[in-house]
Amino acid sequence: MKRFLIETMHIPEKEIIKDHHARHTSTNMRNCARLIFRYGIPMDKPCISSSNKEQSHYISGKGMENRCIEEQGYSAYKNGNRISKTEDELFLR
């Protein structure tokens, strides 16, 4: 994914933050919120989640939000606009 972002989307490598610790999407969302806070990135700006079509629909649906609440006691994000079949706009909390 990192190589795709750099080579195809022309995003500078220094602008890409990777989560090396998540074992599931729910912990990835939590960790992303923590990283955004740590790096001082404005929390009111949208983030983009990019995945395959099925996972993207899971993230933007209630199933993912419910899983986060069940596992962690809260949801680390709220849904924004659907950008494409594989990308969602998210606001991290």
Q: Domain residue spans in the chain? A: 43-93
For residue range 45-60, list pLDDT tens digits in order: 998 888 899 999 988 8
pLDDT, tens digit, 9 for 90 and up, residues 16-31: 888 889 888 889 889 9
Distance CA 50, CA 65 (A): 17
Q: Label residue 6 by pLDDT band (50, 70, 90).
A: very high
What local confidence, expressed as pLDDT, does residue 85 receive?
92
CA distances (Å), origin 73, targets 27, 58, 93: 12, 19, 13
- Smallest CA-to-CA distance from 65 within 11, 25, 33 is with 25
At residue 44, the 3 state secondary structure works out as: coil
Q: What residues contact residue 24 under an 8 Å CB cut-off, 6+ apart?
A: none
Structure tokens at 64: 């993912």
Residues in the chain: 93
* pTM of the shown model: 0.75
87, two tokens: 């990308």
